[in-house]
Amino acid sequence: MSPYKLTPSGVETRLFDLRHTLESAQPLTFFADYHERKETLSYVAGKRIIDTRFSGTVARGRFTIKGGGIAAKKRDIVRRFRLADDMEKIYSRIQTDKFMADAVRNYRGMRLTINDPWETTLCYIVSQYNNVKKIRGTVLKIINRFGTEISEGGRSARSFPTSEELLAATEKDFRECGAGFRAKYLKSAADFCTNNMNLYKLQDRGYDEIKESLMEIDGVGDKVADCIALLGYGKLEAFPIDVWVKRTLERVYFKGRDKKIKYLHKFAEHRWGNDMGYAQQYLFWQGRQMEKKDVRL
């Protein structure tokens, strides 16, 4: 049975949870508008405004799409939310221990997303040493200040500005959007990704080559490069390790002993193999929520 089904008005899904997906610090967390009570989601993809309602259950849900251009919008939703992924098989492979089994049970249906590479790059440069509320505030200010106004069916919104559209922005402009010390990296990235690197030509390359190329961008280190490889290019071999993931790995698997990032990458590769990107997302979100609740890992 296919994990999803196209319908005249949208897409039917299996094993999908929109709330956990959107709350778990992925690019749409930082610029999409989601209303849990109304079950509505709105975001801009290129020059299209995607307005949709998600209803049903984790076991079987449906996206109902508003407005015209439904065929293209369905394609975006299927790709962006990785609806073709066989989550039952993925779960069977990443539930290697009680911690991961608990994570899957608690956040069942949470998906990784695949997003525009430049949008992902900007979001994760902004994310460094930052929290979700501030990241979202900065990203939305950049969109509102530099994005192009688009209209569709009586609705208007601003597109996510391309690197070319941000070339004229100054470090001062980015600081005024709340970027702080990251302003110089955003300015440099806009120039580099316009004049020196075509992010979209990396799509068909392997994970290692993509990550190596991304780290040529000023301000993109190991963790941010892995975030972009995972959420901008869909490379499940990527395993971003931030402070939360490092802390969770060390507490759960190494009795709190400090381990180097390179060692933890190898550990994840050995333990979760080609599904390590999904394992990272569940490990990150389970560890993060337990920390917030002050639950002992």
pLDDT digits 0-9 by tens, 183-239: 999 999 999 999 999 999 999 999 999 999 999 999 999 999 999 999 999 999 999
Cα distance between residue 127 and residue 230, in whole Å: 15
- Domains: count for the chain: 3
Q: Is 210 in the same domain as 125? A: yes
User: Which of 106, 130, 152 finishes a domain?
Assistant: 106
Q: Is 153 in the same domain as 175? A: yes
Alpha carbon distances (Å) from 15 to 95, 201, 218, 227: 16, 32, 38, 23
Q: Is 138 in the same domain as 216? A: yes
- Give me the pLDDT at residue 2, please: 87
Model pTM score: 0.95
Split at pLDDT 50, 70, 90, the class of 293 is low
Lookup: tokens for 119: 């949008």
Q: How many CB atoms lie within 10 A of CB 221?
A: 12
Alpha carbon distances (Å) from 62 to 39, 77, 91, 164: 11, 11, 21, 36
Split at pLDDT 50, 70, 90, the class of 294 is very low
In which domain, by residue range, is 176 found? 117-233
Instruction: State phi, psi for 247 to the nearest 5 degrees.
Output: -65, -45
Looking up residue 77, the CATH number of its domain turns out to be 3.30.310
- Give me the pLDDT at residue 288, please: 85
Q: Is 276 in the same domain as 257? A: yes
Is the pLDDT at 170 greater than 70? The verdict is yes
Is the pLDDT at 292 greater than 80? The verdict is no
Q: Is 98 in the same domain as 126? A: no
In a domain, 15, yes or no: yes
Is the pLDDT at 127 greater than 50? The verdict is yes
The three-state secondary structure class of 42 is strand
Q: How many CB atoms lie within 10 A of CB 124?
A: 27
Q: Is 100 in the same domain as 191? A: no
Looking up residue 202, the CATH number of its domain turns out to be 1.10.340.30
Four-residue CA torsion sign, 124, 128, 132, 135: negative
Report, as an integer, the average pLDDT of 146-152: 95
Q: Is 204 in the same domain as 280? A: no
